[in-house]
């Protein structure tokens, strides 16, 4: 019987030309055609025939995956449609790619579906914000991976019930994202953390320090791509067994407008009919959902939406390894060692900043070590360049990314651009720095220099060198060198609360709507400085449990 089945299967594949008989097989396969055959919905007709859906998720990044996974964990029969504006591109995080691609592909993973104002372009320092990642998996294919839990103090200004919800779901979110603070287990990591804890009091603005909390999967940076595809396969198996419903995902599908009154979701591929029970979950960042909603709800377009982001500085320094009392522990191991820590700080008890620090010791640096280290660095912002590594074999190298909070009451905004007929890009974005923002920027850089000179330099900075204009020097780099023009972690466009002025209610539903729900950093009442992904996922899990119950 098994032999007969094998013969029948072989005959089927042969007749289809799968193996080149009786005619040639497919000669021009594309990644889209292959992935549609294996994982995604191949035709729009099948979408329309599969409805109505219980949930339509717009976006396939962290929040989209977290929501789908949590719903299907409790309700495997839930009918879910996920819509992704872009194609399938990377199967994993870009740091898992060959080194030649790491340094090139990352810059091409962003799109900017907005127009910056003239005032933004003419700002002295922050001139733009990093773009969206218009591909399957969203920003999970290029994110930094840092996942600190914000404290209640760091969430000041948030509604108590939202703080409580985040606290209840942090642990579950950490499991979903594979967060660990023990990825680096080197002697270097141990010694640097002891140094940081013992001298943290010498940095006036510092609040706490801890080993880097990173999202890691099988030794590589976590991406939702593999997990989401696995979820598709699991639901397909459950559906065949009669124990669940398939998870349907459409790629290259741009959502243009939502009409609750007409019961229609308008996309670039056609319309999706909404039933009374269909929940629409926007899991598409901070600016794209604002764009979608101002084009769907005229009242939202009357006034500008607020905007927040994080300011960035970058500082790289080095200290001779021999100056540390633990130098012998580092010299014993000739292979490169990496450590990383997260330091949270506050300016005048109000606005926040933090330091993402990578520490490297590489006494014997081989070409293959540079490749390995490229895969193992915490993130791109805190990665040493091959040139810096080659010149620092006798040093301990420190690479700092310093992120600071912008004031929530500022001159930055998102506004509909009536001159642009494209519904996916008709947004103007303004980013301005207030006096408070500039104070944060000054203070966070001062704090970083204090860490390097007061804590990490055994001889109080006498041998400390900075990477300054492509060379090592004892002089601190100037502001025009340290400050990055691109902001990150945009948010606050659709803040959550209950004071009557917020756009999203405490159940994550867009105020005044029936079935539109918001996820991600668009909800942030204020940005803090902490990396937002863990909190985004925690609140998304809360939303999923609320709706599934």
14 pLDDT band (50/70/90 cuts)? very low
- Name which of 31-40, 243-252, 400-409, 528-537 the model is least confident about: 31-40
Better-scored residue on pLDDT, 482 or 100: 482
What are the two backbone dihedrals, phi and then psi, of residue 115, each rounded to the nearest 5 degrees? Answer: -115, 125
Instruction: With a cut of 60, say whether residue 8 has pLDDT above it.
Output: no
pLDDT in tens, 407-458: 988 899 999 999 999 999 999 999 999 999 999 999 999 999 999 999 999 9
pLDDT of 5 over the 70 cut: no
Q: Is the pLDDT of residue 532 over 80?
A: yes
Which pLDDT does position 9 carry in this prediction?
44
Q: Which DSSP state fits 451?
A: I
The fold adopted by the segment(s) 29-97+134-143+157-178+222-306+491-549 is FAD/NAD(P)-binding domain (3.50.50)
Q: Which residue has the higher pLDDT, 404 or 34?
A: 404
Tens-place pLDDT, residues 45-77: 999 889 899 999 999 999 999 999 999 999 999
Q: Which residue has the higher pLDDT, 440 or 220?
A: 440
516 Cα distance to chain centroid: 23
Measured CA to CA in angstroms, residue 151 lies from 148, 156, 520 at distances of 9, 9, 18
Answer yes or no: is pLDDT of 178 > 90. yes
Q: How far apart are CA 404 and CA 409, in angstroms?
A: 15
Burial (0-12, 13-18, 19+ Cβ within 10 Å), 435:
exposed
Of 174, 152, 222, 217, whose CA–CA distance to 538 is shortest?
174
Phi and psi (nearest 5°) for 136?
-60, 130
Using 50, 70 and 90 to split pLDDT, how confident is the model at 16? low
pLDDT digits (tens, 9 = 90+) for 305-358: 999 999 999 999 999 999 999 999 988 877 889 999 999 999 988 899 999 999
Spell out the alpha helix ranges (H) of 27-132: 31-38, 44-50, 62-74, 99-105, 118-121
| Average pLDDT score over residue span 29-47 | 89
**pLDDT at residue 372, as a whole number:** 81
Integer Cα distance of 50 and 35 in angstroms: 19
Contacts of 381 (CB under 8 A, 6+ apart): 144, 312, 314, 356, 401
Q: Which of 427, 434, 405 is nearest to 492 (CA)?
A: 405
pLDDT average, residue stretch 478-488: 96
What pLDDT shows up at residue 3?
41
Q: Which of 16-20, 113-117, 145-149, 218-222 has the lowest mean pLDDT?
A: 16-20
Q: What is the pLDDT of residues 201-214, one digit of tens each?
A: 999 999 999 999 99
- Residue 405: the pLDDT is 96
């Amino acid at each position: 019987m098994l032999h007969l089945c094998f013969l029948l299967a072989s005959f089927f594949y042969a007749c289809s030309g799968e193996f080149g008989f009786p005619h040639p097989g497919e000669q021009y396969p594309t990644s889209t055609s292959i992935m549609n055959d294996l994982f995604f919905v191949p035709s729009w007709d099948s979408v329309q025939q599969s409805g109505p859906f219980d949930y339509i998720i717009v976006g396939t990044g962290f929040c989209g995956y977290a929501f789908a996974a949590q719903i299907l964990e409790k309700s495997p029969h839930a009918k879910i449609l996920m819509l992704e504006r872009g194609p399938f591109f990377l199967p994993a995080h870009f740091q898992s790619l060959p080194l030649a691609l790491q340094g090139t592909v990352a810059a091409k993973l962003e799109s900017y579906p907005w127009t910056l104002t003239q005032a933004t372009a003419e700002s002295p320092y922050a001139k733009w914000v990093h773009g969206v990642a218009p591909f399957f998996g969203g920003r999970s294919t290029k994110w930094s991976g840092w996942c600190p839990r914000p404290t209640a103090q760091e969430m000041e200004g948030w509604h108590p019930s939202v703080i409580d919800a985040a606290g209840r779901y942090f642990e579950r979110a950490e499991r979903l994202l594979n967060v660990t603070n023990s990825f680096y287990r080197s002697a270097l990591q141990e010694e640097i953390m002891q140094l940081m804890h013992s001298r943290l009091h010498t940095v006036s603005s510092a609040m706490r320090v801890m080993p880097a909390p990173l999202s890691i999967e099988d030794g590589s940076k976590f991406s939702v791509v593999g997990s989401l595809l696995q979820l598709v396969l699991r639901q397909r198996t459950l559906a065949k067994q009669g124990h669940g419903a398939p998870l349907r995902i459409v790629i290259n599908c741009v959502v243009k407008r939502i009409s609750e009154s007409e019961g229609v979701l308008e996309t670039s591929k056609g319309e999706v009919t909404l039933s009374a029970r269909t929940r629409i979950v926007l899991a598409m960042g901070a600016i794209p959902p604002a764009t979608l909603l101002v084009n769907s709800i005229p009242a939202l377009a009357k006034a500008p939406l607020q905007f927040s982001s994080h300011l960035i500085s970058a500082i790289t320094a080095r200290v001779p390894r021999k100056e540390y009392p633990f130098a012998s522990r580092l010299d014993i191991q000739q292979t490169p060692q990496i450590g990383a820590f997260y330091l949270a700080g506050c300016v005048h008890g109000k606005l926040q900043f933090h330091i993402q620090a990578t520490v490297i010791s590489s006494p014997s640096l081989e070409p293959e070590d540079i490749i390995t280290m490229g895969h193992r660095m915490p993130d791109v912002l805190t990665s040493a360049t091959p040139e810096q590594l080659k010149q620092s074999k006798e040093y301990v190298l420190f690479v700092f990314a310093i992120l600071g909070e912008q004031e929530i009451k500022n001159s930055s905004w998102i506004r509909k651009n009536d001159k642009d007929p494209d519904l996916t890009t008709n947004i103007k974005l303004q980013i301005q720095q207030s006096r408070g923002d500039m104070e944060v920027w000054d203070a966070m850089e001062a704090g970083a220099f204090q860490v390097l000179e007061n804590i990490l330099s055994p001889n109080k900075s006498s041998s400390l060198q900075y990477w300054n204009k492509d060379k090592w020097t004892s002089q601190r780099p100037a502001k025009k060198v340290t400050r990055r023009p691109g902001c990150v972690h945009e948010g606050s466009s659709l803040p959550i609360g209950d004071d009557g002025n917020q756009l999203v209610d405490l159940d994550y539903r867009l105020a005044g709507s029936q079935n539109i729900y918001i996820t991600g950093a668009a909800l942030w009442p204020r940005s803090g400085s902490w990396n937002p992904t863990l909190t985004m996922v925690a609140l998304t899990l809360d939303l999923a449990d609320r709706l599934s119950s």
